[in-house]
């Protein structure tokens, strides 16, 4: 059968079971959009910015484990998705991005809307392709989907020149198999290494399991729980691993790191063995690397051989898929009874992993999140933006299942949350989806309220409005002598009253309630602690999207805090 | 700091070279030499890269190289015996007084004459990098007009 390049792109999506695609049109992708026009099996969502399309594809992938797909035009359309690719790359999210490119004869001539997208995206994609001819398009697309969602997942970009999407391939068929001589991810851990790990675990006096996003990517949460329960070893998960182990489990000791639970940090520093599964020892987790877990031996299980011994010297590396490794390990692991080490860890844990001082006169941001947890009983998908609110969302909401926290961990991308929540809502229709946002971050992709409204996507946006770029302001307060340079969203770059926000008479801009209403999105404002629950319930009950704005305590800080470059047990408290 | 000769077998695609070079540059690593050409199999290229730097970072780069989709095989020759050669073309000033000595020096190194003009001679020489360096040092006093080195290849 003869097919045009554009038809091949859409046919590949159908063959790969793509249900939803996010994107934005432009000159060189008109042929592809023209085919989409007749393709009822694919739900195409027009965002209001390409960056949002990329984040939405990413959010869909995080919620489902399937590959997210987005489309953008050449030049400015394609450069707009770069932040989305980098975000997905650092968090190992499977994504395929299709970009249009100027016609091949114009390549490299600075043609209208030309940019070297394969060059620009090279360091922030798992792989990328510039398609040279329509005849290689089916193979490239097949490889793109394969590479994105195997091994350590990641974003793959396919750049398609206009003449390729217009060109006709004779005798088209979509390949069934992929063969890449150079790409064969190692999925099964080495049996000898797994035996060694089991042996080390049984010898250890003070073990701790340290699980990361890899648990979620490989769907190894059940195996992780089995390991922990068999051995009674306390479990800490990184920010990316939250939900990979039930947040309300007695063996759960919170996330470690800069804003981690004291208990998790003390446990890591004191333990004699770290059993790391799918975690990459990010510097936000380890604190000062040289003094990280000084007495511990380390077993590191990871699908990516390059992640091993990258930051921390490892004693027993096991390369493979977390689910396979843990299944093998669980078969041979010896049972272990809770002992005095567990008592010690439980003592550190105390009654609550995190605490703050509540108030009757002003809304504490932590209280909003705790209340959200109480109301939903954890049965929700929580997306976040980036800042203090993100850390509070990690601390005060308990994630009971994998894929329920959707947040930019590695890149820390403000503006990620709302579009990602949008994508997640397509992937998970049974749970409510909320985006926990700051007043700064939400303004980075606020135009997507239009997309939410038009498609009636039931995302509930919770804005914790503290009038500040709070996380940066916190650093300025603690380490720059309260010089709030460019962090007040009311006063501009140099706010003379910032050192006494209670005296500030300037209005914040915009009025989020009016703004949301202008987009036809239901909106509520709350500035009374007593009203928090009420407003949350009202927002959650709306049939469709809603914005809930909470005017919160302005100078609240995220604690505990390990200052950057300090050892994990060097903890600041409020 | 140590010097490594790394050999990379990769798919013969247009983007492969910059993808590989990009891994070094993103860590602020300076590649001292890089050679690349098709192999006996036209779908594959062989690259030889010489770099010097911190061992641990290099180990990381080798791991990252192995991860690249286009890369079929990576060999770090520091762990094994190798034969390494570099090609040199060098043009040296010639005058009546120096002529004899210049030719004598070239003979010592077994360099061959690739071209002559009344005022210059161009030698072709191949050998290990250190030998190439030595040859250059010997020629320097006579006046080097132009020089081109291929960078190392190793097997
Ligand atoms: C795109 C982008 N720009 C800048 C930053 C740096 N940054 C990190 S947190 C933060 C402040 C976020 O403020 P807001 O969204 O209001 O949240 P809050 O910290 O007040 O909860 C900034 C500017 C970032 N992470 N991402």
Does the pLDDT of residue A483 top 90, yes or no? no
Q: Ligand 1 — pocket residues by CB below 6 A?
A: A 385-389, 412-414, 438-441, 464, 466, 468-472
Mean model confidence pLDDT for chain A? 95
3-state secondary structure of B88: strand
CB-CB neighbors (< 8 A) of B71 in chain A = 182
Write out pLDDT tens, residues A407-465: 999 999 999 999 999 999 999 889 999 999 999 999 999 999 999 999 999 999 999 99
Does the pLDDT of residue B139 top 70, yes or no? yes
pLDDT band of residue A309 (cuts 50, 70, 90) is: confident
Higher pLDDT, B16 or A559: A559
Does the pLDDT of residue A496 top 70, yes or no? no
Tell how far the Cα of A495 is from the centroid of ligand 1, in angstroms.
18
Contact B71 A182 (CB under 8 A): yes
In angstroms, the separation between the Cα of residue A454 and the nearest Cα of chain B is 40
pLDDT at A500: 61
Does the pLDDT of residue A214 top 80, yes or no? yes
B10 lies within 8 A of chain A by CB:
yes
CB atoms within 10 A of CB A327: 18
Tokens of B135: 């040859």
Helix-strand-coil percent breakdown of chain B, rounded to 5?
A: 35, 45, 20
Q: Which letter does DSSP use for residue A220 in this model?
A: -
CB atoms within 10 A of CB A292: 21
Task: Read off the pTM.
Answer: 0.95
Write out pLDDT tens, residues A388-406: 999 999 999 999 999 999 9
Does the pLDDT of residue A499 top 60, yes or no? no
Write out pLDDT tens, residues A173-204: 999 999 898 898 888 999 999 999 999 999 99
Q: Which of A130, A182, A306 sits opposite B64 (nearest CB)?
A: A306
Question: Which of A407, A422, A415, A381 lies closest to A21, judged by CA?
Answer: A422
pLDDT at A498: 54
pLDDT at A501: 64
Burial class for B100, CB neighbours closer than 10 Å (0-12, 13-18, 19+): exposed
State mean pLDDT over B61-90. Answer: 92
**Of A81-90, A151-160, A489-498, A526-535, which gets the smallest average pLDDT?**
A489-498
B52 lies within 8 A of chain A by CB:
no
Question: Which of A447, A444, A451, A436 lies closest to A539, judged by CA?
Answer: A436
pLDDT band of residue A161 (cuts 50, 70, 90) is: very high
Task: Give the orientation angle of helix A5-15 with respect to helix A137-148, to 10 degrees.
Answer: 30
Contact B63 A305 (CB under 8 A): yes
User: Looking at A361-425, which runs of residues are DSSP E strands?
Assistant: 381-384, 405-406
Cβ-Cβ contacts under 8 Å between A and B: the total is: 37
Tell how far the Cα of A282 is from the centroid of ligand 1, in angstroms.
19
CB-CB neighbors (< 8 A) of A310 in chain B = 60
Report the nearest-CA residue for atom 11 of ligand 1. A469
State mean pLDDT over B67-93. Answer: 93
| Gap between the Cα atoms of A231 and A439, Å rounded | 44
Does the pLDDT of residue B92 top 80, yes or no? yes
Tokens of A107: 């390549």
State the best of A306, A314, A319 to mutate against chain B, taking most chain B CBs within 10 Å: A306
Burial class for A106, CB neighbours closer than 10 Å (0-12, 13-18, 19+): middle
Q: What end-to-end distance do the CA atoms of chain A give, in Å? A: 68
pLDDT band of residue A123 (cuts 50, 70, 90) is: very high
B28 lies within 8 A of chain A by CB:
no
Report the nearest-CA residue for atom 8 of ligand 1. A387
Tell how far the Cα of A252 is from the centroid of ligand 1, in angstroms.
29
| Gap between the Cα atoms of A22 and A526, Å rounded | 33
Contact A180 B72 (CB under 8 A): no
- What is the DSSP pairing of strand A316-319 with strand A273-277? unpaired
State mean pLDDT over B12-39. Answer: 90
Contact A182 B11 (CB under 8 A): yes
Does the pLDDT of residue B85 top 80, yes or no? yes
- Whether the CB-CB separation of A298 and A312 falls below 8 Å is answered with yes
ipTM here:
0.88
| Gap between the Cα atoms of A302 and A331, Å rounded | 19
């Amino acid at each position: 059968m003869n097919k045009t390049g554009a038809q091949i792109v859409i046919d590949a999506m159908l063959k790969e079971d793509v249900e939803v695609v996010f994107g934005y049109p432009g000159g060189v992708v008109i042929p592809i959009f023209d085919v989409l026009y007749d393709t009822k099996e694919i739900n195409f969502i027009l965002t209001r910015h390409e960056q949002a399309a990329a984040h939405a594809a990413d959010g869909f992938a995080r919620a489902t484990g399937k590959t997210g797909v987005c489309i953008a035009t050449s030049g400015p359309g394609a450069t707009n998705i770069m932040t989305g690719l980098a975000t997905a790359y650092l968090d190992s999210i499977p994504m395929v991005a299709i970009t249009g490119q100027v016609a091949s004869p114009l390549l490299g001539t600075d043609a209208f809307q030309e940019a070297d997208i394969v060059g620009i995206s090279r360091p922030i994609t798992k792989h990328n392709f510039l398609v040279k001819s329509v005849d290689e398009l089916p193979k490239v697309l097949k490889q793109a989907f394969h590479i994105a969602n195997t091994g350590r997942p990641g974003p793959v970009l396919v750049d398609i020149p206009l003449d390729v999407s217009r060109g006709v391939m004779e005798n088209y068929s979509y390949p069934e198999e992929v063969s890449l001589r150079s790409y064969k991810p190692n999925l099964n851990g080495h049996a000898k290494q797994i035996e060694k790990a089991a042996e080390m675990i049984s010898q250890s006096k003070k073990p701790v399991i340290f699980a990361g996003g890899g648990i979620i990517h490989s769907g190894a949460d059940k195996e992780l729980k089995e390991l922990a329960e068999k051995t009674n070893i306390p479990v800490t998960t990184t920010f990316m691993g939250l939900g990979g182990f039930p947040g309300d489990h007695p063996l759960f000791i919170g996330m470690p790191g800069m804003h981690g639970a004291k208990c998790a940090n003390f446990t890591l520093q004191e333990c004699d063995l770290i059993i790391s599964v799918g975690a990459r020892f990010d510097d936000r987790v380890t604190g000062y690397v040289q003094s990280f877990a000084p007495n511990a031996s380390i077993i590191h299980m990871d699908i990516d051989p390059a992640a091993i011994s990258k930051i921390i010297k490892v004693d027993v590396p096991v390369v493979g898929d977390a689910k396979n490794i843990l299944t093998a390990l669980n078969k041979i692991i010896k049972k272990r009874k809770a002992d005095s080490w567990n008592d010690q860890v439980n003592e550190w844990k105390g009654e609550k992993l995190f605490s703050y001082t509540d108030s009757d006169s002003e809304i504490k941001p932590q209280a909003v999140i705790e209340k959200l947890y109480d109301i939903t009983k954890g049965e929700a998908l929580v997306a976040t933006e980036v800042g203090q609110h993100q850390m509070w969302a990690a601390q005060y909401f308990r994630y009971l299942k994998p894929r329920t926290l959707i947040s930019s961990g590695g890149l820390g991308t403000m503006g990620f949350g709302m579009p990602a929540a949008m994508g997640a809502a397509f992937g998970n229709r049974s749970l409510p989806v909320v985006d926990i946002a700051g007043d700064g971050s939400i303004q980075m992709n606020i135009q997507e309220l239009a997309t939410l409204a038009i498609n009636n996507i039931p995302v509930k946006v919770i804005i914790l409005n503290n009038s500040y770029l709070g996380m940066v302001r916190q650093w300025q307060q603690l380490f720059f002598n309260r010089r709030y340079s460019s962090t007040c969203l009311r006063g501009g770059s140099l706010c003379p009253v910032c050192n006494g926000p209670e005296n500030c008479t300037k209005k914040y801009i915009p009025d989020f309630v009016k703004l949301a209403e202008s987009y036809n999105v239901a909106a509520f404002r709350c500035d009374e602690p007593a009203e928090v629950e009420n407003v949350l319930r009202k927002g959650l009950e709306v049939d469709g999207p809603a914005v809930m704005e909470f005017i919160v305590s302005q100078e609240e800080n995220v604690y505990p805090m390990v200052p950057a470059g300090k050892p994990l047990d060097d903890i600041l408290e409020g | 700091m140590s010097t490594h000769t790394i050999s990379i077998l990769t798919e013969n695609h247009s983007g492969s070279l910059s993808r590989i070079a990009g891994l070094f540059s993103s860590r602020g690593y300076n590649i001292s030499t890089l050679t690349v050409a098709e192999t006996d199999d036209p779908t594959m290229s062989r690259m030889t890269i010489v770099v010097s730097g911190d061992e641990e970072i290099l180990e990381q780069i080798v791991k990252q190289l192995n991860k690249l989709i286009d890369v079929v095989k990576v060999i770090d020759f520091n762990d094994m015996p190798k034969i390494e050669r570099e090609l040199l073309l060098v043009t040296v000033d010639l005058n009546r007084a120096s002529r004899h000595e210049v030719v004598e020096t070239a003979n010592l190194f077994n360099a061959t004459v690739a071209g002559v003009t009344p005022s210059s001679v161009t030698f072709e020489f191949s050998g290990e990098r250190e030998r190439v360096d030595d040859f250059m040092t010997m020629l320097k006093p006579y006046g080097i007009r132009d020089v081109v080195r291929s960078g190392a290849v190793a097997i």
